[in-house]
Amino acid sequence: MSRMIPNNQITLLQNGEAYFPAIEAALDRAMHEIFIETYIFENDNTGRRISEALKRAALRGVTTCVLIDGFGSIGFPKTMVDDLEAAGVRVLKFRPKTSPWTLRRRRLRRLHRKIVVVDQTIAFVGGININDHRDISSQTSLRVDYAVSIQGPLVKEIHDSARRVWSRVAWMRWLPDRGRNDDRYRPSTEPTGLMQAAFLVRNNIRHRRDIEEAYLQAVEQAQDEIILASAYFLPGLNFRRALTDAAGRGVRVVLLLQGRMDHPLLHYASQALYGSFLAAGIEIHEYHKSMMHAKVAVIDEHWATVGSSNLDPFSLLLALEANVVVDDEAFAKELKFSLEQAIETGAQRIGEKNWGTQSIGQRLASWLSYGVVRFMIGIAGYAPGELPGRAVPIDHAA
């Protein structure tokens, strides 16, 4: 796992209303280089807005590199790619889409990270894709989601990680590495704050379990309270035991989970775990006001994490993910307050007595879904030493 690095300034960004203006302003200040990684890049108002900022940067001579996932951004049109590349933006796709009916082991290994790095002076990490953030059904409620902006020594680690992934993708396609460091450019290393933070990644090489292990260590050391918010929640046995053990020693454990069904299989599979969690005294709140896309946690009002990693097999075993861990009381309390507001204003608590009276059909759907998901993950597997993905230039993708 990465070590905690001091002297950073970490700012919590809640939802797209805070995130997109912040990254657009950073792109417009860029003077040397930009790296963006995202799972979804949509051709909507937000996507076009960020595309215009990227073009403005490239046209004034900034090295601008955009890496999108081949499955998550399957709808990103070639016309937008051509427009970006005409302005000098370099766009690559991480693995073209594979048929959902194939059993190829690598199909589910995606680029799920959401990272923006500008001039090695500011970085953004979180769970927010580049797309409109209003609820799809009502267009009134914002999705619940988070990111952070980082200034300080930690930015270098985030930059180096983004550059390595970009370079590996370009190398595997025999393309020139236009994301190389400019040796003439040396960012300031002066401290910008007083906050300790770490940058954690999950990949299929040396960092398979870094994010999960950071969570487990924090949960096992918790003394008072654990609040976890995860859009997709299907942790493994060790993680489940850590949560129930914490509840057993008197720690308040709160789960904020997605109540709306955008992926029925995962939704029902997660509910298969509710009974054992409720019996252990763990609180479960399902968020129904809008889509709940968050992937964050607060433990004992000082340890917090914000990132792209859900607590499910896709994130913990297969995808490329990135989280920031912050050890700071003020930051943790701000995130905790936001989560408590979400619970109070948009969530429904699942009661143990009511849950125990669910129909046989509901229980059967949950356990069948759980079995199917675990089977799919077993089929997907992961290969030791695998590089993070065979990528193709987006304009050549299938």
Instruction: Tell me which residues are annotated as active site.
Output: 112, 114, 119, 293, 295, 300
How does DSSP assign 275-313, residue by residue?
A: HHHHHTT-EEEEE-SS-B--EEEEETTTEEEEES--BSH
Strands 225-230 and 252-258: parallel
- Read off the tokens for 161: 């990680």
CA-to-CA distance for 80 and 50, rounded, in angstroms? Answer: 12
Q: Are 77 and 165 in contact (CB under 8 A)?
A: no
Q: Which of 240, 222, 231, 196 is nearest to 299 (CA)?
A: 222
CA-to-CA distance for 176 and 168, rounded, in angstroms? Answer: 11
Burial group, residue 217, by CB count within 10 angstroms (0-12, 13-18, 19+): middle
CA-to-CA distance for 218 and 221, rounded, in angstroms? Answer: 5
Helix runs in the chain, H state only: 15-29, 45-59, 78-86, 154-172, 210-221, 237-248, 264-271, 274-279, 313, 329-346, 352-355, 360-380
List of residues 6+ apart from 303 with CB closer than 8 A: 218, 297, 325, 326, 327, 332
Q: Are 255 and 284 in contact (CB under 8 A)?
A: yes
Q: Are 166 and 320 in contact (CB under 8 A)?
A: no
The half-sphere exposure of 10 on its side-chain side, counting CA atoms within 13 A, is 35
In order of 63, 145, 185, 371, the CA distances from 120 in angstroms are 12, 25, 9, 44
